Amino acid sequence: MKILVTGAAGFIGSHLCEGLISKGHEVVGIDNFSTYYDPKLKAINADDIKNVGVTLLVADLLDDLTTILPTDIDVIYHFAAQPGISASTPFVDYERNNIQATQNLLQWAIHQNANTQLFVNIATSSIYGLHATSTEEEAPMPVSDYGVTKLAAEQLVLASQRSGKLPACSIRLFSVYGPRERPEKLYTKLIKAIYEETSFPLYEGSEHHERSFTYVGDIIDGLEKLLDHQAACNGEIINLGSTDVYTTGQGIALIEKIIGKKAVIEHVGKRPGDQLKTSATIDKARKLLDYTPTTDFEEGLKAQVAWYREKFL
């Protein structure tokens, strides 16, 4: 198959590109190398995926895609977004990069691409709200600009599917970690702070937050399985995540154990919109995709520490 991956130089998108190439697919990636975090970090991912044969296009999804993208794409995985729950990110950035960009990509997929077999929207557990413990059928209650705009993007995609314009599904990911995790995310930020002997800011109460921390390799396995179950997944919302739940405090303790050194914790105020608990309900993924995450939490964190050491020390 010929597959398009948006946000291809990002954390999860780059892993999927490599996985699809290893399965013999032709992969075209697109990324705008946003300055949300240092583009040099994305450049490291970009080199990795280009080295295995991914064609990487540097462009924005609000550009004229008819002049950028090939028109013979079979499947689209749409990762590109304004990520994260951040008080410093204005709403207009979430609106532009999550809603408007998704709509522009959809219009290209519907009207310019020759035969879109499946449009896979990558969504998030933040859609559920403070307690992400629901099945896919329960009403979402997002509490952050990120969650609200990702829900809007999801519904844009599914509205196109419901109106018969293209086959599509939406995949809600739960607390993904592992090699290439973004620098502002929990574990990369923590590992960096320990090795550089700087303080690690811990949001008030967050050490007690519960998470379905899910290793990126298990997420890639589920996303790849979509290709063999396209008809069954068409029109569906599907949770992908681990059923094992750990607190943020337990995760911090494991990183300290792996590195062999304590973090210098700096307690800061609560983060608005932060989830209190995520616990992935994956019955639908098990049924439709035969999906079972298998990576032990500590082993996954060891892989992330090893990646950080290789790339940055």
CB atoms within 10 A of CB 312: 14
- Say whether both 107 and 192 belong to one domain: no
Strand ranges of the sheet holding 237-240, from the earlier edge strand across to the other edge: 55-58, 26-31, 2-6, 75-78, 118-124, 168-173, 237-240
- Say whether both 112 and 253 belong to one domain: no
Rounded Cα gap, residues 86 and 187, in angstroms: 17
Asked if residue 186 lies in contact with residue 177, where contact means CB atoms within 8 angstroms, the answer is yes
Please tell me whether residue 133 adopts helix, strand or coil conformation: coil
CB atoms within 10 A of CB 109: 22
Confidence (pLDDT) at 270: 87
Asked if residue 55 lies in contact with residue 5, where contact means CB atoms within 8 angstroms, the answer is no
Confidence (pLDDT) at 88: 83
Angle at CA of residue 153, ends 147 and 155, nearest 5°: 105
Please report, for residues 29, 39, 216, 295, the alpha-carbon distance to residue 242 in angstroms, rounded to integers and kept in the order given: 27, 30, 10, 9
- Say whether both 225 and 261 belong to one domain: no
Burial state string for 143-172 with b = 16 or more CB within 10 A and e = fewer than 16: bbbbbbbbbbbbbbbbebbeeebbbbbbbb
- Say whether both 148 and 237 belong to one domain: yes
> Consecutive 10-residue runs of the chain (313 residues): their mean pLDDT?
98 98 98 91 96 98 98 98 88 97 98 96 97 96 96 98 98 98 96 98 94 98 98 98 97 98 94 90 98 98 98 94
Rounded Cα gap, residues 115 and 138, in angstroms: 32
Query: β-pairing, 168-173 with 131-132?
Result: unpaired
Rounded Cα gap, residues 213 and 219, in angstroms: 11
- Say whether both 70 and 154 belong to one domain: yes
Q: What angle in degrees, to the nearest 10, is found between the helix axes of 11-22 and 216-225?
A: 50
Rounded Cα gap, residues 232 and 226, in angstroms: 9
Q: Could you tell me which residues come within 8 angstroms of residue 6 by beta carbon, excluding any fewer than 6 positions away?
A: 13, 29, 30, 31, 61, 76, 77, 78, 79, 80, 105
Q: What is the CATH number of the domain that holds 120?
A: 3.40.50.720
Tokens of 102: 């998704």
Domain of 200, in residue numbers: 186-210+244-278+295-312
Which residue in 36, 77, 94, 146 is the catalytic one? Answer: 146
- Say whether both 190 and 128 belong to one domain: no
- Say whether both 6 and 141 belong to one domain: yes
Length of the chain: 313
- Say whether both 71 and 135 belong to one domain: yes
- Say whether both 120 and 193 belong to one domain: no
Q: Decide if 181 is inside a domain.
A: no
Q: What is the CATH number of the domain that holds 190?
A: 3.90.25.10
Is 177 labeled as catalytic in the residue annotation?
no
The number of domains in the chain is: 2
- Say whether both 98 and 224 belong to one domain: yes
Confidence (pLDDT) at 274: 86
